């Protein structure tokens, strides 16, 4: 009777304080919490938890939340669901807290604490005792069969890979793919997720790190359903197949307590230290590979402060009610609540892992004990809600009854470490200011960033206009968001020629060039093309077409004298070299001794040929009529870059639509990309496909779609170039290829919402910035084509010879050129 009065007083006091506290910050109050579980077993345990809290509801007072369990199949799925607010919380390994925080804005709000108040695990390498006698230092880890819990786990993957990169001679073979790097180092191993999309974005990982896994195909192999998944799975893998397993310091003892492995002695195993020594399983403080934070409970950062606070209070109460461990605020009240470190070590030295009484045993002088009567209240209240199962183990036969639900116990559900780690003893609240993955990870974040370091640290992209620079900076941000390496750096130079000079000098690394600039860059600056754009032909090529208005039947390709013409730019393939070579070689235009600018100026009335009056591109006499149709204002006028409105393929088309041009030369995709409402700009709004026609070389006209039979030739697509010649560095070039490959995997999609970055599209009002908008993908140019002449091919070299008579270096080109000059001479 007296007791129940005490209860009533206590409950009342608690209610009062809580209600009071909440009054200040709670505008709206959340009433539910959806827990995302990662397996069927977790789901069962979670459901049991809901039953338990429902029964003990009175003990939660104000902090009660209606808990429901939502089952997913992996941590990644849970992260996804929480990000989309289909669930609210889940527990995650520190490695996954990083992923969730970095990519999905989830934040840790509670952390698990281990025996002794520790908040960290040691990452350990476990081997079978006496095995691997020839392994004397970490370099000998090469070609071993290794059991990892899963790719991305902090103690089980990131710490060991990082350590082996630093000390074990593991070389980075792919700056953006840890799995490839690891696969080239180890023998057949098991690392769950090594073939999942997340760690295999390009889809070309070897299956070497799945071969040791034992799950059933399909679906169960090398996934979270694999028997070798998780720390416990990696342990099993070590027993059955592997040479080494990377585990947490607690894993082995945890596993040896399970019915399945209880007959195995801890002496069966030993730790492999970083210096090659061996140590007993319990000497993990001296023999570990790194320290990582204990698991965290995460929620979405979109949850309000008051929601998070409620989650914390609720979870804290769950921790208090359903664990034998300590309370969070104990450590805060002078840190004496936890067993002292010495005490803890004593216990582990006694190897008392199995000793239930060792856990949570309190000193009677513990200030917390004497001070807090709530605990007493708790045990009595719980007594009445659990009927059987007297506590026999401690030999007493008092009225103390065991709680049936325990959050840090999972045995009865058939798997260890469900919802929480079984080695945890308490849940602690993470204060609001510390609710970020960086603060939670602390120094352990260096492991994570460390394994992403790349031998080539940066890639400088050279662009030629402000708009391209803006896009480059957006791309840089996007790549950084995914931690892709090398780091993209953006540099704006005043012209393509200027970019070529900078790349040759090593002040920039790559640029994306039209075939004409690939030629100039290769011939004069030793640049080499290594990746090319691919448009709708499936090959890195496009057709050069001449386009006129449908309602202007007088314009035909065989007689353009006196017409207004629109060109993509001086010395570009589609806008200049191909059409000019065509007119000159057919004798329609006088070549003026290979001065093609003069030839054009004498023949056409007005034109827009961006760059035609720039002395970088036209060393001869400038002809103003070559820029008459151009549209750029002030310094932008007739510039050979995206600041001139009529520059490039789309610019040339715009010049035809609104700028007074009779004919425009461009690539075959441009009209289709710009008509029928595909562009929102006012000049393109009313332009329809049918309003335009292709001009064929025989003087006839064709529909825009008939580019395959009505064109001026086929050109190699725009290409990404880098340094060749004496400063060629294959490591660098491969790192660039790697970066661009991953970049397009993430940002190469066409259908994107306005908020995400897309490599192959340009903001409204702009077109073809850096990459052509028509680009579907970037393709690696085979090594034997990584020379300007080999890449561009004989057609281009021939056309180029005709327009500027510059002697190309290639023998093939030369002979072709001679042939053509021959036929030209004959014609004239
Ligand atoms: C807890 O879960 C187990 C296994 O699913 C089940 O057998 C048991 O009845 C549950 N206990 C309670 C109290 O719901
Ligand atoms: C808890 O939530 C579930 C699902 O939202 C609902 O069906 C149930 O009635 C709620 N229980 C309480 C006590 O509010
Ligand atoms: C990989 O393991 C297999 C089987 O254990 C072994 O025969 C082979 O020699 C190992 N490969 C290397 C490169 O050590
Ligand atoms: C222990 O508890 C049982 C069941 O309540 C009772 O029958 C028994 O007499 C008790 N033994 C002692 C020594 O108190
Ligand atoms: C190539 O570049 C890498 C990274 O920038 C550098 O470490 C390496 O020494 C270079 N190799 C040569 C042969 O210059």
Which DSSP string corresponds to 597-627?
HHHHHHH-SEEE-TTTT-TTT--S---GGGG
> Which of 203-207, 369-373, 530-534, 809-813 is the least confident region?
809-813
Between the CA of 399 and the centroid of ligand 4 the distance, in Å, is 9
The answer as to CATH 3.40.190.10 being correct for domain 120-293 is yes
Between the CA of 67 and the centroid of ligand 2 the distance, in Å, is 8
Pocket probe mutation, ligand 2, options 47, 54, 64, 68, max atoms within 8 Å of Cβ: 68
Judging by DSSP bridges, how do beta strands 146-148 and 190-191 pair with one another? parallel
For CA atoms 196, 199, 203, 209, the dihedral sign is: negative
Residue nearest to atom 11 of ligand 5 (CA): 729
For CA atoms 556, 559, 561, 565, the dihedral sign is: positive
Residue 16's pLDDT band, with cuts at 50, 70 and 90, is very low
CA distance 503 to 349: 62
Between the CA of 224 and the centroid of ligand 4 the distance, in Å, is 47
Pocket probe mutation, ligand 2, options 66, 69, 86, 87, max atoms within 8 Å of Cβ: 66
Its pTM surpasses 0.85: no
Ligand closest in space to the Cα of 40: 1
Residue 399's pLDDT band, with cuts at 50, 70 and 90, is very low
Ligand 1 pocket, residue 44 CB under 6 Å: yes
Long-range CB pairs of 381-386, under 8 A, 24+ apart, other chains included: 381/7, 381/56, 381/58, 381/59, 382/56, 382/321, 385/55, 385/56
CA distances for 315 relative to 66, 67, 82, 669, 697, angstroms = 12, 11, 17, 59, 77
The pLDDT value recorded for residue 720 is 98
Closest of 584, 578, 626, 586 to residue 605, by C-alpha: 626
Q: Is 568 annotated as a binding residue?
A: yes
Ligand closest in space to the Cα of 397: 4
CA distance 126 to 128: 7
Ligand 3 pocket, residue 187 CB under 6 Å: yes
Tell me the CB-side half-sphere exposure of residue 806, using CA atoms within 13 A.
Answer: 17
The pLDDT value recorded for residue 396 is 53
Same fold, 2-117+295-446 and 458-531+718-786: yes
Residue nearest to atom 1 of ligand 5 (CA): 729
What integer is the mean pLDDT of 386-402? 45
Helix ranges, 338-465 (H): 341-349, 367-371, 374-385, 437-441, 445-450
Identify the residue whose tokens are 């640049």.
527
> Which of 410-419, 493-502, 674-683, 814-823 is the least confident region?
814-823
CA distance 358 to 361: 6
- 465-491 pLDDT, tens digit per residue, is 999 999 999 999 999 998 999 999 999
Ligand 1 pocket, residue 413 CB under 6 Å: yes
Report the percentage of the chain scoring pLDDT > 70.
84
Q: Tell me the CATH number for domain 541-713.
A: 3.40.190.10
| Distance in Å from the first CA to the final CA of the chain | 121
- 45-79 pLDDT, tens digit per residue, is 999 999 999 988 988 888 999 999 999 999 999 99
Sorted by where each begins, the domain ranges of the chain are 2-117+295-446, 120-293, 458-531+718-786, 541-713
Q: Is 207 annotated as a binding residue?
A: no
Closest of 87, 748, 164, 804 to residue 478, by C-alpha: 748
CATH architecture assigned to 2-117+295-446: 3-Layer(aba) Sandwich (3.40)
245 pairs with which residues across the strands?
126, 147
Show Cβ contacts of residue 323 under 8 Å, excluding neighbours closer than 6 positions. Answer: 360, 406, 407, 408, 424, 425, 426, 427
Which H or E run includes 124? strand 120-128
- Work out the mean pLDDT of the chain and round it to a whole number: 85
Fold of 458-531+718-786: D-Maltodextrin-Binding Protein; domain 2 (3.40.190)
The pLDDT value recorded for residue 546 is 96
- 546-563 pLDDT, tens digit per residue, is 999 999 988 888 888 899
């Amino acid at each position: 009777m007296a007791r129940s009065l005490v209860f009533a007083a206590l409950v009342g006091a608690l209610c009062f304080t809580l209600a009071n506290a909440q009054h200040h910050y709670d505008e709206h109050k959340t009433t539910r919490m959806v827990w995302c579980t990662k397996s069927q077993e977790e789901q069962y345990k979670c459901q049991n938890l809901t039953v338990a809290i429902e029964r003990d509801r009175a003990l939660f007072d104000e902090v009660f939340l209606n808990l429901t369990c939502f089952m997913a199949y992996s941590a990644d799925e849970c992260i996804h669901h929480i990000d989309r607010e289909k669930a609210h919380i889940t527990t995650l390994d520190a490695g996954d807290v990083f992923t969730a925080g970095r990519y999905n804005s989830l934040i840790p709000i509670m952390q698990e604490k281990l025996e002794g108040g520790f908040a960290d695990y040691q990452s350990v390498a476990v081997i079978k005792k006496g095995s691997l006698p020839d392994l004397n230092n970490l370099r000998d880890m090469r070609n071993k069969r290794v059991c990892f819990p899963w790719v991305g786990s902090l103690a089980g993957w990131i710490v060991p890979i990082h350590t082996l990169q630093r000390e074990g001679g593991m070389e980075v073979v792919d700056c953006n793919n840890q799995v490839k790097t690891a696969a080239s180092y180890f023998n057949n191993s098991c690392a769950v997720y090594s073939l999942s999309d997340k760690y295999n974005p390009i889809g070309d990982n070897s299956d070497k790190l799945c071969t040791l896994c034992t799950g059933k195909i399909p679906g169960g192999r090398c996934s979270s359903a694999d028997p070798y998944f998780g720390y416990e799975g990696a342990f099993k893998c070590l027993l059955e197949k592997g040479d080494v397993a990377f585990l947490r310091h607690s894993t082995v003892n945890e596993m040896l307590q399970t019915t399945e492995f209880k007959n195995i002695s801890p002496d069966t195993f030993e730790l492999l230290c970083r210096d090659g020594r061996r140590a007993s399983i319990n000497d993990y403080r001296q023999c570990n590979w790194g320290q990582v934070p204990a698991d965290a409970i995460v929620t979405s950062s979109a949850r309000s402060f008051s929601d998070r606070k409620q989650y914390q209070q609720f979870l804290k109460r769950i921790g208090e009610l359903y664990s034998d461990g300590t309370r969070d605020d104990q450590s805060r009240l002078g840190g004496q609540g936890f067993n002292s470190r010495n005490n803890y070590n004593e216990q582990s030295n006694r190897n008392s892992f199995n000793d239930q009484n060792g856990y949570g045993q309190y000193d009677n002088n513990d200030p917390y004990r004497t001070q807090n009567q709530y605990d007493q209240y708790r045990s009595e209240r719980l007594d009445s809600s659990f009927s059987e199962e007297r506590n026999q183990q401690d030999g007493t036969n008092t009225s103390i009854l065991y709680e049936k639900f325990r959050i840090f116990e999972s045995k009865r559900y058939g798997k260890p470490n469900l919802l929480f780690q079984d080695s945890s003893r308490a849940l602690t609240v993470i204060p609001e200011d510390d609710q970020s993955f960086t603060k939670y990870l602390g120094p352990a974040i260096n492991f994570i960033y460390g394994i992403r370091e790349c031998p080539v640290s940066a890639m400088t992209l050279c662009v030629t206009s402000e708009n391209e620079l803006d896009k480059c900076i957006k791309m840089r941000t996007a790549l950084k968001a995914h931690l892709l390496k090398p780091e993209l750096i953006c540099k704006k130079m005043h012209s393509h020629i200027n970019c070529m000079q900078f790349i040759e000098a090593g002040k920039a690394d790559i640029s994306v060039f039209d075939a004409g600039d690939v030629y100039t860059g290769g011939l004069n600056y030793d640049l080499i093309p290594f990746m090319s754009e691919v448009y709708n032909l499936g090959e890195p090529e496009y057709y050069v077409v001449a386009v006129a208005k449908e309602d202007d039947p007088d314009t035909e390709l065989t007689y353009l004298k006196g017409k207004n013409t629109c060109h993509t730019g001086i010395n570009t393939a589609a806008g200049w070299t191909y059409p000019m070579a065509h007119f000159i070689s057919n004798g329609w235009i006088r070549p003026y001794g290979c001065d093609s600018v003069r030839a054009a100026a004498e023949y056409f009335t007005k034109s827009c040929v961006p760059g035609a009056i720039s002395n970088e591109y036209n060393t001869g006499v400038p002809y103003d009529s070559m820029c008459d149709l151009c549209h750029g204002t002030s310094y932008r006028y007739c510039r050979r870059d995206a600041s001139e409105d009529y520059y490039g393929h789309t610019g040339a088309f715009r010049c035809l639509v609104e700028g007074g041009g009779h004919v425009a030369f461009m690539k075959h995709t441009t009209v289709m990309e710009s008509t029928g409402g595909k562009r929102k700009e006012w000049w393109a709004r009313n332009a329809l496909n049918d309003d335009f026609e292709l001009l064929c070389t025989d003087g006839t006209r064709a529909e825009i779609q008939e580019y395959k039979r009505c064109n001026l030739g086929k050109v190699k697509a725009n290409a990404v170039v880098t340094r060749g010649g004496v400063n060629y560095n294959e490591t660098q070039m491969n790192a660039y290829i790697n970066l661009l490959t991953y970049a397009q995997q993430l940002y190469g999609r066409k259908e994107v919402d306005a908020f995400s970055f897309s490599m192959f599209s340009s903001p409204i009002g702009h077109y073809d910035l850096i990459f052509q908008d028509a680009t579907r993908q970037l393709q690696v140019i085979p090594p034997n084509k990584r020379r300007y002449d080999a890449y561009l091919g004989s057609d281009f070299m021939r056309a180029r010879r005709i327009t500027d008579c510059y002697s190309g270096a290639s023998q093939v080109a030369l002979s072709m050129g001679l042939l053509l000059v021959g036929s030209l001479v004959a014609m004239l």
